[in-house]
C-alpha cells in the first residue's frame, strides 16, 4: 500500500510541477517506491534487477538535477519550460533518455524486466514511463534535436531487431517498448500531442499482453 501510494504521489508531483527541483523529487520518490515491488519475490534475480534499476535511475536523476542546476546557474531560471543553456539541454536529453531506456542507454531495461514479476513489469513499462515522458513533452522545445533524432532512429531499429531474437515474453515486450519509445521521441519534435496518443495506445497494448 505504501509503495503504490508513493508511486501515485511521485508521478503526480512530477507531472504537475513546473520547477525542476519538484520534478526531480517526484522522480526520486517513484524510483524508491518501485524498488520493493521489483525485489518482492525474494530471489537473487529479483534483487539483481532491483539493484540495476536503482543504479541506472539514480544516475539519470543525478544528471537531470545537474542539468537543471547548470541552467539555473547560467540563466537564473528553474522553470521546466525555460531550459535554454545548450549544455543543460544536452544533459537533460541524455538524462531523460537513460530514464526511459532509449538506445544506447537501453541495456538495463530488458534485464530488469526479466528479473521482475509480470505485474511489476506492467508498472515498469507503463506507469514508470509516464513522468519522464511528461518531462520530455514539457521540455520538448529546448531539447537537443540532433541527439534525440539519432537516439530515436537507433531505438526503433534496434528494438525491432533485438525483439526478433528473443524467446521470452518479457524481453520481447522490453524491446517492443524501446522501439515504441523511438517512435514517440521522434514524433515529439514535430507534434507532442501525437506522442501522448502513441504512449496511451502503447500502454493499452502492453497492459493487455501482460495481464493475459
From the number of C-beta atoms within 10 Å of its C-beta (0-12, 13-18, 19+), residue 189 rates as middle
- Tell me what the mean pLDDT of segment 52-70 comes to: 95
Mean pLDDT, the chain, as a whole number?
Answer: 93
Confidence of residue 196 (pLDDT cuts 50, 70, 90): very high
How far from chain centre, in Å, is Cα 90? 16
Helices (H), the chain: 2-16, 20-38, 44-75, 86-100, 108-115, 118-125, 130-138, 145-164, 169-188, 192-211
Closest by Cα among 204, 173, 198, 203 to 183: 198
Predicted structure pTM score: 0.92
Instruction: Give the model confidence (pLDDT) of 116-139 as tens digits.
Output: 999 999 999 999 999 999 999 999
Instruction: Give the model confidence (pLDDT) of 62-72 as tens digits.
Output: 999 999 999 99
Confidence of residue 189 (pLDDT cuts 50, 70, 90): confident
Amino acid at each position: 500500500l505504501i509503495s503504490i501510494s508513493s508511486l501515485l504521489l511521485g508521478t503526480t508531483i512530477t507531472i504537475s510541477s513546473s520547477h525542476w527541483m519538484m520534478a526531480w523529487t517526484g522522480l526520486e520518490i517513484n524510483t524508491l517506491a518501485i524498488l520493493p515491488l521489483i525485489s518482492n519475490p525474494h530471489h537473487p534475480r529479483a534483487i539483481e534487477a532491483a539493484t540495476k534499476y536503482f543504479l541506472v535511475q539514480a544516475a539519470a536523476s543525478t544528471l537531470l538535477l545537474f542539468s537543471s542546476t547548470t541552467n539555473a546557474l547560467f540563466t537564473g531560471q528553474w522553470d521546466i519550460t525555460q531550459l535554454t543553456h545548450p549544455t543543460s539541454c544536452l544533459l537533460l536529453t541524455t538524462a531523460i533518455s537513460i530514464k526511459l531506456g532509449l538506445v544506447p542507454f537501453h541495456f538495463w531495461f530488458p534485464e530488469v524486466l526479466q528479473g521482475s514479476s509480470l505485474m511489476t513489469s506492467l508498472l515498469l513499462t507503463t506507469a514508470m514511463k509516464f513522468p519522464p515522458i511528461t518531462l520530455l513533452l514539457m521540455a520538448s522545445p529546448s531539447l537537443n534535436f540532433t541527439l534525440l533524432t539519432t537516439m530515436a532512429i537507433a531505438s526503433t531499429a534496434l528494438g525491432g531487431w533485438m525483439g526478433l531474437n528473443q524467446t521470452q515474453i518479457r524481453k520481447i515486450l522490453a524491446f517492443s517498448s524501446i522501439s515504441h519509445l523511438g517512435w514517440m521521441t521522434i514524433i515529439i519534435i514535430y507534434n507532442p500531442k501525437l506522442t501522448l496518443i502513441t504512449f496511451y495506445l502503447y500502454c493499452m497494448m502492453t497492459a493487455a499482453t501482460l495481464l493475459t
